[in-house]
């Protein structure tokens, strides 16, 4: 059986249409997913939406709709955006899925049975935009540091998960590497917070109606974050059940179901949870503690990337600088948006993006860099009537070729793979970009247009070398720019050039 690779994005709040921040994480997950798939692993790539809680209920009310109808109206907007960006997810999860609702209730009961749930009175400052209680020392001028709004005083009787019991166990697990928190600086931050002491967390809400009913207490609703985190677990159960059914059915109908059996059905635990730093706390502390309480295996890796600003400012509706991923795709194409977002700054750090920055990358590295290299190489091969069939690289089908053997890129391939596995996407792309620059320079240095007059053998050698280099670049860029990689492969085979990145 193939190795399995289970990767998740956060499930995004469905209070509005998706923006480029959501796209950023989802693109990164898609790149990893395509990369591991190309290595022959069975990838389960989960994304979806977070539909319950006060935040969604408020947005629905504003829109004059019932929460479920409101969420239904927005789901296609997310799916459309992901389709436009060529996101190849395995499962689009909705927390209103009744099977999920039942699983969440069952797990809460199990936590209760195991003695990890208690009912207590609680008062605190609640930020609905964050869907969490804030500590007084977190506030900036009395407001939420992320949303700039005043939190509300909430005083209610809730059920609590006894998180305070898990501090030592969590620290030990993190230090032993049972689950990794990355980047390293985030891990230290989390360990520091645990050291300062963990408080129990409320897992129910008294006055929020839009949510999963708390089992055996009609007056309470399950806290949206607990509901949301459990999506990672219930999605695997739902997937497993659906596929077992598929296998049973196909078993009785046809004999040929071998491909289905090759698929891993038991995908738990996740190999990596991806998110930004804003919600690391939930993923690196609360979620692993819940899993420990339930005796379930922990995720292997939790990676928190940075937050970006747009044109130097925090993205917000009031500033009017929210970037719509669909509009970006319309303008630059999916591949260029995927490339530019991950190329701009290190994945684990904060950074800045803007339409101008995407345009600049498009122009310099994609249009003038890769696009031009392919175009001029194919044109010269045609013009000088170079016969590539006699060259070793092209007599042998791609899958039988030693990757990189022809252009000396084997070492380069290993480096790029390692960078992708470490989520250093900007560096992996830098590496690819410099490979492209080198080939363009190689052409400049060897001047095929002059060789055409003096040395036919050398001319054929030079152009074959560049062609081989491009053959190697196609799979390198494939996880980042799948469409471009396909176009390249086709053009390199047919030798019919057509612009990869036309001028805008
Ligand atoms: N619903 C919760 C997540 C539950 S997961 C069990 C939630 N949703 S959210 O819609 O607010 O999404 C937050 C996530 O969106 C971030 O963690 C990040 O993945 C992405 N981003 C939103 N804005 C972003 C930026 N400005 N920059 C980078 N990532 C951004 O929290």
Model confidence pLDDT, tens digit, residues 184-240: 999 999 999 999 999 999 999 998 899 999 998 989 999 999 999 999 999 999 998
Given this model, what pLDDT does residue 391 score?
Answer: 60
Backbone angles phi, psi at 237, to 5 degrees: -70, -40
Q: How far is the CA of 15 from the centre of ligand 1 (A)?
A: 12
Q: What is the mean pLDDT of residues 104-127?
A: 95
Q: What is the mean pLDDT of residues 60-86?
A: 98
Cα distances (angstroms) measured from residue 240 to each of 99, 102, 377, 474? 12, 16, 48, 34
Q: What is the mean pLDDT of residues 339-352?
A: 96
* Any ligand 1 atom below 6 A from CB of 93: no
Given this model, what pLDDT does residue 265 score?
Answer: 77
Q: What is the mean pLDDT of residues 98-108?
A: 97
pLDDT tier for residue 257 given thresholds of 50, 70 and 90? very low
- Answer whether 305's CB lies under 8 Å from 275's CB: yes
Q: How far is the CA of 333 from the centre of ligand 1 (A)?
A: 23
Given this model, what pLDDT does residue 65 score?
Answer: 98
Percent of the chain with pLDDT over 70: 93
Q: What is the mean pLDDT of residues 105-109?
A: 98
Tell me: pLDDT of 395 over 50.
Answer: no
pLDDT tier for residue 399 given thresholds of 50, 70 and 90? very low
Q: Is domain 354-494 given the CATH code 2.40.10.10 in the classification? A: no
Percent of the chain with pLDDT over 90: 82
Q: Where are the alpha helices (H) located in 14-151, listed in sequence order?
A: 20-38, 54-62, 67-84, 98-113
Question: Is residue 93 within a helix (H) or strand (E), and if so which, with residue range?
Answer: strand 91-94
Ligand 1: residue of 9, 12, 226, 235 to mutate (most ligand atoms within 8 A of CB) is 12
Residue, of 248 and 436, whose pLDDT is higher: 436
Ligand 1: residue of 24, 95, 315, 319 to mutate (most ligand atoms within 8 A of CB) is 24
């Amino acid at each position: 059986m193939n190795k399995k690779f289970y990767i998740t994005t956060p499930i995004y709040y469905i209070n509005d249409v998706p923006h480029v921040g959501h796209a950023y994480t989802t693109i990164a997950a898609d790149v990893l997913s395509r990369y591991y798939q190309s290595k022959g692993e069975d990838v389960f790539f989960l994304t979806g939406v977070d539909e319950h809680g006060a935040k969604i209920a408020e947005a629905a009310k504003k829109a004059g709709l019932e929460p479920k109808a409101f969420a239904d109206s927005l789901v296609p907007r997310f799916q459309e955006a992901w389709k436009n960006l060529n996101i190849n997810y395995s499962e689009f999860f909705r927390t209103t899925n009744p099977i999920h609702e039942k699983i969440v209730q069952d797990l809460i009961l199990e936590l209760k049975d195991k003695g990890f749930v208690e009912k207590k009175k609680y008062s605190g400052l609640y930020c609905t935009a964050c869907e969490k209680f804030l500590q007084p020392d977190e506030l900036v001028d009395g407001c939420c540091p992320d949303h700039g709004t005043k939190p509300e005083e909430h005083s209610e009787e809730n059920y609590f998960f006894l998180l305070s019991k898990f501090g030592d166990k969590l620290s030990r697990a993190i230090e032993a590497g049972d689950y990794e928190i990355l980047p390293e600086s985030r891990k230290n931050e989390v360990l520091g917070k645990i050291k300062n002491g963990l408080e129990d967390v409320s897992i129910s809400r008294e006055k929020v109606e839009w949510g999963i009913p708390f089992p055996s207490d009609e007056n309470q609703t399950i806290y949206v974050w607990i509901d949301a985190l459990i999506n990672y677990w219930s999605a695997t159960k739902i997937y497993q059940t659906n596929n077992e059914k598929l296998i049973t059915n196909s078993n009785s109908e046809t004999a040929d179901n071998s491909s289905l059996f090759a698929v891993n059905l038991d995908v738990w635990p996740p190999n990596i949870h991806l998110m930004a730093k804003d919600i690391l706390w939930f993923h690196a502390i609360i979620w692993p503690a819940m899993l420990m309480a339930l005796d379930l295996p922990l995720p292997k890796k939790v990676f928190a990337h940075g937050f970006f600003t747009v044109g130097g400012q925090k993205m917000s509706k009031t500033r009017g600088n929210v970037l719509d991923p669909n509009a970006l795709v319309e303008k630059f194409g999916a591949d260029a948006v995927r490339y530019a977002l991950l190329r701009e700054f290190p994945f684990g750090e904060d950074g800045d993006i803007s339409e101008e920055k995407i345009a600049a990358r498009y122009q310099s590295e994609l249009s003038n860099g890769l696009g031009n290299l392919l175009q001029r190489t194919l044109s010269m091969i045609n013009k000088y009537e170079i016969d590539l069939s006699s060259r070793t690289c092209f007599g042998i089908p791609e899958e039988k070729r030693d990757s990189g053997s022809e252009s000396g890129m084997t070492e380069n391939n290993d480096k790029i793979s390692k960078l992708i596995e470490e989520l250093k996407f900007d560096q992996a792309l830098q590496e690819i970009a410099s490979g492209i620059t080198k080939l363009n320079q190689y052409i400049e240095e060897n001047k095929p247009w002059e060789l055409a007059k003096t040395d036919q053998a050398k001319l054929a050698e030079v152009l074959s070398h560049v062609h081989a280099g491009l053959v190697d670049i196609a799979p390198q860029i494939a996880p980042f720019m799948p469409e471009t990689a396909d176009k390249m492969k086709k053009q390199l085979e047919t030798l019919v050039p057509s612009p990869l990145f036309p001028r805008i």
